[in-house]
């Protein structure tokens, strides 16, 4: 076997020990129950758009706390079905939802689209999360010493409440909801598939937030902010690892029931292959991983994008 075959064989059998604590399941069950009936206080406002046969709305709702989370919701009016499929799109670290016209390709496939800005990052959503200590650079070290105050927890429930809002829209087929994202967005996709019953398809391109202890030591992406925090405060390492374990998709993967498609670049230094395979190998539902040996941190070549578009075209029928 050559170098690439050996590398793939190692990754396909890579099963690091889970880091979930004894209260992992109860933590999630209690929190999901607690937030289940939290009011959304949502607003939906019609917007002008150059896209024909498409209704565009600005959406605002409350997620984890009282922070308004903002997004676009787009409905194709040319689809002649009583209820239509929807793709929910989550974004990479420091990215934002952009303009409605960015989503024309999904609309042309016959999907409604919901896409939301992640709290505090570069979009419209703010961040009212209480802060007990200083942070390093971006956002992910906020509340990192306490799983109940952690930025990751707030972000996760913001995204779950987006699905709750979607479930209230009468034109949506609740049996055809796809969650889609790349990098941070791909990590959120895995969380949504693990924690919500609504997704019936998950597409997680180069997902982050997997095997986070490995990423903490090796990643050059957002997890390097947490590494810098621990470097500044070395005595917090155990607390930090404890917090991360609750949001690690490696630990959540066994809860996924929907079909899930991963992608991975073997030269990715942000979402390292070991982190992605650690989660992928723990998924027991129908799954596929698209491996690109010479790709770095990219959401895929035109070939990969074509594969995903074909997959979604079938899903929308």
Domain-located, residue 9:
no
Q: What CATH number corresponds to the domain at position 277? A: 3.40.50.1820
Tell me, what's the pLDDT at 300?
82
Active-site residue set: 183, 268, 297
Is 217 labelled as part of a ligand binding site?
A: no
Domain total in the chain: 1
Radius of gyration of the chain measured on its C-alpha atoms: 19
Q: So what's the pLDDT on residue 286? A: 98
- At which residue do the structure tokens 């941190």 appear? 297
Residue 8 lies in a domain: no
* 5 in any annotated domain: no
> What are the distances in angstroms from CA 138 to CA 79, 98, 142, 169, 231?
41, 20, 9, 34, 16
Q: Residue 154 sits in which domain range? A: 23-193+203-316
Residue 105 resides in a domain: yes
Residue 208 lies in a domain: yes
What's the predicted TM-score (pTM) here?
Answer: 0.97
CA 158 to chain centre: 11
> What is the C-alpha to C-alpha distance for residues 273 and 265, in angstroms, rounded to an integer?
7
Quick one: tokens of 141?
Answer: 């070290």
Pairing of strands 54-62, 43-47: antiparallel
State how far the Cα of 43 lies from the Cα of 304, in Å rounded to an integer: 36
Q: Specify the DSSP element, H or E, that contains 32.
A: helix 24-36
Contacts made by residues 236-242, CB under 8 angstroms, sequence distance 24+:
236/144, 236/145, 239/144, 239/145, 239/146, 240/144, 240/145, 240/216, 241/19, 241/213, 241/216, 242/21, 242/147
d(CA 174, CA 285): 19
Please name which of 192, 193, 184 lies closest in space to residue 270, comparing C-alpha atoms: 184
Q: What is the pLDDT of residue 240?
A: 98
pLDDT given for residue 131 in this prediction: 86
pLDDT at 1: 61
Q: Which residues of the chain have pLDDT under 70?
A: 1
Query: Has residue 53 been placed in a domain?
Result: yes
In a domain, 121, yes or no: yes
* Strand order from edge to edge, sheet including 54-62: 43-47, 54-62, 68-76, 112-116, 84-90, 172-182, 201-205, 260-265, 287-292
Report the pLDDT value the prediction gives residue 138, as an integer from 0 to 100: 93
Whether 315 and 201 have beta carbons less than 8 Å apart is answered as yes
- 85 within a domain of the structure (yes/no): yes
Residues 10-31 have pLDDT tens digits of 999 999 999 999 999 999 999 9
């Amino acid at each position: 076997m050559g170098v690439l075959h050996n590398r793939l064989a190692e990754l396909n059998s890579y099963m690091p020990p889970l880091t979930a604590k004894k209260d992992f399941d109860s933590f999630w069950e209690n929190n999901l129950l607690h937030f289940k009936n939290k009011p959304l206080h949502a607003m939906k406002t019609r917007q002008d758009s150059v896209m024909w046969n498409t209704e565009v709305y600005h959406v605002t709702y409350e997620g984890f706390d009282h922070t308004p989370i903002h997004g676009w919701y787009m409905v194709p009016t040319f689809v002649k079905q009583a209820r239509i499929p929807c793709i929910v799109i989550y974004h990479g670290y420091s990215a934002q939802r952009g303009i409605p016209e960015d989503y024309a390709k999904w609309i042309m496939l016959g999907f409604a689209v919901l896409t939301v800005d992640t709290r505090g990052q570069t979009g419209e959503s703010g961040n009212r999360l209480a802060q007990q200590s200083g942070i390093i650079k971006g956002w992910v070290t906020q509340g990192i010493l306490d799983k109940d105050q952690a930025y990751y927890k707030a972000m996760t429930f913001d995204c779950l409440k987006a699905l709750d809002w979607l479930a209230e829209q009468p034109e949506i087929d609740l049996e055809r909801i796809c969650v889609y994202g790349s990098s941070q967005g791909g990590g959120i996709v895995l969380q949504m598939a693990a924690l919500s019953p609504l997704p019936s398809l998950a597409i997680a391109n180069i997902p982050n937030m997997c095997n986070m202890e490995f990423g903490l030591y090796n990643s050059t992406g957002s997890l390097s902010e947490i590494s810098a925090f621990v470097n500044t405060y070395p005595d917090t390492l155990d607390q930090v690892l404890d917090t991360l374990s609750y949001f690690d998709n490696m630990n959540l993967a066994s809860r996924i029931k929907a079909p899930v498609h991963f992608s991975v670049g073997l030269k990715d230094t942000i979402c390292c292959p070991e982190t992605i395979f650690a989660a992928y190998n723990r998924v027991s539902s129908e799954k596929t991983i698209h491996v690109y040996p010479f790709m770095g941190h990219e959401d895929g070549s035109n070939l990969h994008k074509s594969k995903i578009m074909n997959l979604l075209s079938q899903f929308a029928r």
